[in-house]
Amino acid sequence: MLYKVCKSKDINDNAMKSFTIDTNIEILIGKINYKMFACKNSCPHRAALLSKGQLKPSNSRIICYMHCFEYNVFTGKLQWIPNKWINQSQGWKKSGELILYDVIENEDGTVFVDVP
């Protein structure tokens, strides 16, 4: 389903904002080098809010504030786990991928997100 979320100008380059759509769906929309992305505002590792994390524009990643796992915001793939977690069990380190959504920006700068 297509949801109208914001205007493109509401999100600065190399920044992100969280939005609630349909009263209970938390999404994160951001821009890296003027390319937009959208994902579920929940870390696939332990469900922390990604909006509390930080972007790494140099390699298109978001860093979760809770355990510092890094995910690519355009592919959804887990890219890096900090060495301090090396001795944790494999089950604890296991993570899925970001849930990504298609972003559509129309001619007037209105941003829509396609959430299945």
Q: Please check the confidence at residue 12 and state whether its pLDDT lies above 90.
A: yes
Q: Cβ neighbours of residue 20 under 8 Å, at least 6 residues apart?
A: 26, 27
Percent of the chain with pLDDT over 70: 100
Which homologous superfamily does the CATH classification assign to the domain defined by 2-114? Rieske [2Fe-2S] iron-sulphur domain (2.102.10.10)
Domain layout of the chain by residue ranges:
2-114
Contact call for residues 12 and 115 (beta carbons, < 8 A): no
Percent of the chain with pLDDT over 90: 97
Cα distance between the two ends of the chain:
6
pLDDT digits (tens, 9 = 90+) for 38-72: 999 999 999 999 999 999 999 999 999 999 999 99
In this prediction, residues 31-39 reach a mean pLDDT of 97
Q: What is the mean pLDDT of the chain?
A: 97
pLDDT grade, residue 90 (50/70/90)?
A: very high
Q: Please check the confidence at residue 23 and state whether its pLDDT lies above 90.
A: no
Alpha helices per DSSP H over the chain: 90-93
Contact call for residues 73 and 37 (beta carbons, < 8 A): yes
Give the DSSP letter string of 16-35: EEEEEETTTEEEEEEEETTE
pLDDT digits (tens, 9 = 90+) for 101-111: 999 999 999 99
| Short-list 92, 93, 115, 94, CA closest to 103 | 115
pLDDT grade, residue 14 (50/70/90)?
A: very high
